[in-house]
Structure 1
C-alpha cells in the first residue's frame, strides 16, 4: 500500500481515477465527496446494505422503521446514480423483507424502464428444518442500469458440462455438434410441409407446430449435412448445431445456484482466513462477486461498493484487474477490511485467487473522512465516569459545533440536574451532550481545513488537496 503523499496523482490528465480508494466514513457524505471528481466514471456499483431485519447482523442500525430505511436507501441511491457511467449498472443484494419496496424505490430513482432483472441467489446449501414457515435459502440481487439501452451483460464462460453435450456420431469434419429441435411451437404456413427420412418414414409437424425452416431452407440444410435422422436414418429430423459455431459464452440466467457462485458458509470461511472473529453473519462469497463483476465490467473499469463490510467486492475487483472504491463507516474497517485488502496485495490464495491465477501486487490508498463533531460523539459514548464526561464537555465548549438553539449558560444549569434539582445519571448526561451537537458538522469541511482551531496536519492537507486537485 503506497504512501499517498508520494504516490502518483489520484487522477490522470483526463480526470480519470488512477488509484484504488478505501475510505472510512459516513457513506452518504463520502459519496457526495466523490461526486465532483467521479461523476459519470463508475461502471459497476454493488452494495449489500442493511436488510432492515432487526438482527443487526451488519453492525449498522439494522432495525430501522420501514420509512426510515427507505429514506436511508433513497438518499444513497440518488447520489450513486450520478456516479455511474451512462453504460453503468448497479446490483443490490436484499432479502424478502424489503425486496418489493426496494424495487419500487429503484424504479423511482433509476426509472422503471431501466430495470434489468431480479436475480435469485441460492445462499444456503442445506434446508433449515426448524424454520417456522419456509426454509429461507435465497436472497435477491436487484439489477438496474443507468440507461438500459446502453448496457449489455458480458457472456459467462461456457462450462465443460455444457460442452460435454456435443458429440460427433457421424464423424462430421466440422467437429462436435448436438441435435436441436427442428420444430417450432406455432403454425407458420411456410413451415407446413412433409419430410421423408432416408428410410422412407413420413414426418409432418404435429398440430399447432411447424418446421423452423421453409422447404427450400430445409433442402439447403440437407445438402449441407446439417439434418440428422438418427443412426438408422429413421428418426424425426433434427438440426445439427456445431460447437465451433456457438457463441464464446452463454447469456446469464436469473437463478444462481450455490454450486456455481458459492454460499454463505463459503463466505464465512473466506473471512476467517484473515480474521478469526465472527463479525459478519451474512458475508458474500468471492465467487458471487466474481460473477457480478464479470457480467458488468471489463478490465480497468471502476467498481464501487459503499456498504463494503468485510471488503469482498474490492478484494475480487482487485484480483480481476478492475479499479475500485470501497466505503465503510464502521471501525472494523481497520481490523478486518483493511487487513484483508493488504493480504490481497500480498497474494493470498483464498476465494477466487487460484481460479484467476492471482499472484498479488497493485496498490490502494486508505484514508478517512476527518471527524469533527463525530469525534466528540465517540468521546461521549466512551466516557466511563462523570469526570471523563466533564472533560469531554469542556473540550466541546471550546471547539464543537452546536445546534443553533444551544445556549451555554442555560445548558450548564440543566446539564447536571433535572427540573426537580435531582442529579441525573451518566447515561442521561451523555444523551444531553450528544443532543446539542450539530449533526451537519460530523466531519470537517474541506473549506475549513486551514483554520488552526481544527488542527489539520500538513499531511492531511496535502492528501486532501491531491484528491480535489487544489
Structure 2
C-alpha cells in the first residue's frame, strides 16, 4: 500500500508512504522524472547558482491613475527545478537577504497526480513521488515565509485528502486556516462514467498566528438597510444592545444609571450587565448632562440583577448619578438631544431604553470558502485567457483564471509584498501579482513552458500589452436615467445583477402575455432597474523582472567517482563554493568573501606552506581565514593551524561532499596520513549515493 494513516507513539496522526524517509531528485533533465535518494546526496544538498539570462523592464505610463499600486521592479522568473531555486533563495546571501522570512504569500499549483505528470510510474510509486515532491517543497518554503505569511495549495480530488495530512505535519495542524472549494466547471461532463467533478480544493495554511486575511469588498447588496442616520451623524448607524449576558461574573458592570430627564435609576435587566466599561459609560452620559460616580448602597438590587444573594454581590460598586439638580440636567439633556449627532450612547426620544450606536464600518466581507465560477471564473475562462495571449499555442489542460488568482493575492498580501509560485505553469500567478503591484518570484522546471508561455506573457504584462484577465474589471451598475443625468440608485436590496435579470424576465413576460398590461408601469419598472456595464482599466504596464536560470552542478560523477565539473574553475569555483557555505560572494583582493572576522579563500590548485605564508601576509591582524582548495600539501594544514589559530584548510570537493553526507568516515582530518588526491578528483560516492545513482539509471 502506498500510503496509510498510522498513529505515532506520540499520539500524533501521520501519513506514511514508500520511501518517505528519502528525498526526491529530478533526474529527467527538465522533465517530470524523479528518483528517491538520501537527503545527504550531494545532488540534493548542493546549492546551485542562479545565472542571469536577461532583464525586462518598462517605464511606468504617465496616464496611469495615481491610486493604483506602483509597478514592481525586483521580480524573478527562474528556469529550473524548484528544489534548486528555493534552496538558492534561502541559502545564497544575495537572495536570502531579500527573501528569507519575507515571502508573504505562496501559491502552489503542483502537477495533479492524475496519471499525466507521472504516467510511467506504478500507481503506488506515483503517489509516493507526488507526496514526497510536495513535502520537500513545503519544507523549503517554510523558512522563506514571513511570520504573517500564508501558503495556498491548489489540488483536485486525487491527492487533496492525503495532502492535508502532510501539510498538518509540515506546517502544523494548528496553522490550518480553511479548505476553499473553487467551482471550476459550471456544467457537467456528460461522458463521465461516475460523477462529474465541478470543483477543485485550495488548502490554506498560515505560518503563525500573526497572519490575518484581508477582507473582500462588500457586495453591492449587503445587509445594510438597517443602518441609517436619524441624528445627522455622517456615518450610518443602527441600534445595538448596550448590555451583555453574564451579570454574575461581571458584577462591577452591574450598577444604576440615573436618567437625565426622569431621574429614574436604570439597571441592566436580570442576568445582564452594561457592555462597555464604566469609564466609557460615564464619558458618554456626561455629554447629556454633568454626571459623577457615587455609591448609593444598592447591593440588594444589584444582587437581584446578578441572580445572587446580597452577601455574594461585590460591594462598593458606584452608580452613575447626576451631579446637578434634575431640572437643570433635564434642560441640558433635551438641548443636547435636539442638537442632533448624538453621542454613541443613545436614549431615543430621551426614553428609558439605553442603546449603543453601531456604525457601518466598511471593512469589507470576511472571505468565505465557496468561490463560484461566476465570481472568479472557471477553467474555461482560464483557457480563453491563455488562448487570447497565445492563439497559436495549445493551452494547458487546467489553466487558472486570473480573477481566481487575484482573489488569493488580495486575501493574502498587500501591494509591495512578495508572492511566490514555484510551479510557474503558464505564468498566471506572476502576471496577476505584477498587475496588482506585488513583488513576485516564480520558477518552472520545463524550459519549454518558460519560452512558450511565461517569458512572453510576463513581457507583455510589463509592456502593457496584456489586455485580458484582471487588466480591466467590468462591473454592472445602475444605468444613466437620461442624457446629462447622474447614475440612478437601484431599489434598496436590489443588486445590479438582480436588476438585470428582472429586466430580462420582465421583457419576456410582456412579450408573451397577450393581455393588456399597464405600459406606464412596465416602463417605470424597466427604468427603475436599468443597468449598464462599466469597465475600469487597472493595469497600464510598467515595472520589470529578471530571467534567471539554475546553474549546472559543480560536480560530475565518473565511474563512481565524484569530481569537480569542468566549468568549476577559478572565479566560478569560488562563487560556487561561497554558495555552499552561505557566504556572500564579494571578491576582495585574493579573498572570495567574509563573515565577521573570518575571510574565505578558494584556490583551484595546490596549497603548500609557501601559499599559507603568502595568504597570511595579506590577512589583516585579528582575522582568521578558511581556505578551500582542490589540492593540499600534507604540511599546509598544520602550518596554518600554528601560524593563525582558528583558521581552517579544507579540500574541494571532498570536504563539501563530506559535509553533505555527514558520515563518520568523512570526519577524518585531512593531511594526517591521508593521500592527497590528484588534481580535481575526489572520493568515491557513499553506498547510499551509489544506490541512488543505480536506481536512477534503472
TM range, normalised to the smaller chain? 0.5 to 0.7
Alignment partner, residue 11 of structure 1: none
Q: 1:131 to 1:167 in 2, by over 3 A?
A: farther
Q: Which residue is 1:154 aligned to?
A: 214
Shift of 1:175: 6.5
The residue matched to 2:409 in structure 1 has which SS?
helix
SS at match of 1:364: strand
**Aligned-residue offset at 1:370:** 3.2
Matched, 1:249 2:364: yes
Which one of 232, 244, 254 corresponds to residue 173 of structure 1?
232
The TM-score with structure 2 as length reference comes to: 0.44
Distance in 2 (alpha carbons) for counterparts of 1:289 and 1:69: 23
Whole-angstrom distance in 2 between the partners of 1:6 and 1:97? 38
Is 1:49 paired with 2:110? yes
Shift of 1:111: 1.5
Task: Say yes or no: does 1:261 pair with 2:368.
Answer: no
In 2, Cα distance between the equivalents of 1:448 and 1:184?
77
The 1:226/1:35 distance shift into structure 2, 3 A limit, reads same
CA drift of 1:299 comes to 1.7
Structure 1 residues 371 and 228: CA distance shift in structure 2, 3 A: farther
Match of 1:314 among 424, 430, 455: 430
Query: Alignment partner for residue 401 of structure 1, among 549, 556, 578?
Result: 556
Q: Is residue 386–residue 395 contact of structure 2 (8 Å, CA) maintained in 1?
A: no
Is the contact made by 1:22 and 1:364 (CA closer than 8 Å) also made in structure 2? Answer: yes
Deviation at 1:55, TM superposition (A): 3.4
Structure 2 residue matching 1:159: 3-state secondary structure? coil
1:272-322 deviation per Cα after TM superposition (whole angstroms, max 9, x unaligned): 121122231111111111111111111211111000100011001111111
Distance in 2, matches of 1:293 and 1:62, equals: 37
SS of the residue corresponding to residue 83 of structure 2 reads: helix
TM-score by length of 1: 0.64
Deviation at 1:267, TM superposition (A): 1.0
* Cα displacement (A) at 1:361: 0.5
Higher strand share: 2
Local SS of the residue matching 2:202: strand
Listed one character per residue, the Cα deviations across residues 306-360 of structure 1 (whole Å, up to 9, x for unaligned) are 0010001100111111111110011121111111001101112211112362100
Tell me if the contact between 1:299 and 1:321 (Cα under 8 Å) persists in the aligned partners: yes
Superimposed CA distance per residue, residues 88-129 of structure 1 (whole angstroms, 9 cap, x where no aligned partner): 211110112111111111111112122122111111122334
Q: Distance in 1 between matches of 2:190 and 2:240?
A: 42
Match of 2:75 in 1: 20
Select the structure that is richer in helix. Answer: 1
CA apart distance, 1:18: 6.5
Gaps of 5+ in 1: 8-16, 191-209, 230-237, 374-399, 407-437, 457-466
Contact 1:175 1:242 in 2 (8 A): no
Distance 1:117-1:449 versus aligned 2 partners, 3 A rule: farther
Q: Which moved more, 1:337-346 or 1:277-286?
A: 277-286
CA distance in 2, matches of 1:256, 1:226: 39
- Structure-2 residue corresponding to 1:273: 388
> Which of 1 and 2 has greater Rg?
2
| Cα distance change, pair 343–448 in 1 and its aligned pair in 2 (3 A) | same
- Structure 2 unmatched ranges of 5 or more: 1-51, 58-71, 251-270, 286-336, 349-354, 474-536, 576-583, 588-698
- Give the corresponding residue for 1:292: 408
Specify the SS of the correspondent of 1:270: helix
Pick the aligned partner of 1:368 from 546, 549, 568.
549
Instruction: Please give the root-mean-square deviation of Cα atoms over the aligned residues, in Å.
Output: 4.6
Given the superposition, is the C-alpha separation of residues 23 and 6 from structure 1 closer, same or farther in structure 2, using an over 3 Å criterion? closer
What is the CA-CA distance between 1:177 and the residue it aligns to?
Answer: 5.7
2:440 to 311, 324, 329: 324
CA 1:265–1:5: 2 relative to 1, 3 Å? closer
Judge which range, 300-309 or 63-72, deviates more. Answer: 63-72
User: CA–CA distance in 2 between the matches of 1:21 and 1:110?
Assistant: 25
SS of alignment partner, residue 104 of structure 2? strand
Query: CA 1:313/1:227 → structure 2, altered by over 3 Å: closer, same or farther?
Result: same
Question: In the TM superposition, what whole-angstrom CA distance separates every residue of 1:32-62 from its partner, at most 9, and x where no partner exists?
Answer: 1221233212111111001111134x99999
With over 3 angstroms needed to count, the CA separation of the structure-2 counterparts of 1:316 and 1:226, relative to structure 1, is same
1:18-417 pair list within 5 angstroms: 19-36=74-91, 37-38=95-96, 39-56=100-117, 65-146=126-207, 148-162=208-222, 165=225, 168=228, 173-174=232-233, 242-243=359-360, 246-276=361-391, 277-330=393-446, 331-347=448-464, 348-355=466-473, 357-371=538-552, 401-402=556-557, 404-405=559-560
Cα separation, partners in 2 of 1:181 and 1:125, compared to 1, 3 Å: farther
Aligned equivalents of 1:324, 1:468: Cα separation in 2: 24
Give the Cα separation in 2 of the matches to 1:451 and 1:187: 72
**In structure 2, C-alpha distance between the alignment counterparts of 1:300 and 1:59, rounded to whole Å:** 40
- Provide the rounded CA distance (Å) in 2 between the counterparts of 1:445 and 1:255: 55
Name the CA shift for 1:19/1:59 in 2 (closer, same or farther; >3 Å): farther
Deviation at 1:84, TM superposition (A): 1.1
1:65 aligns to what SS in structure 2? helix
1: CA distance, partners of 2:566 / 2:145 = 25
Aligned length: 364
SS at match of 1:173: coil
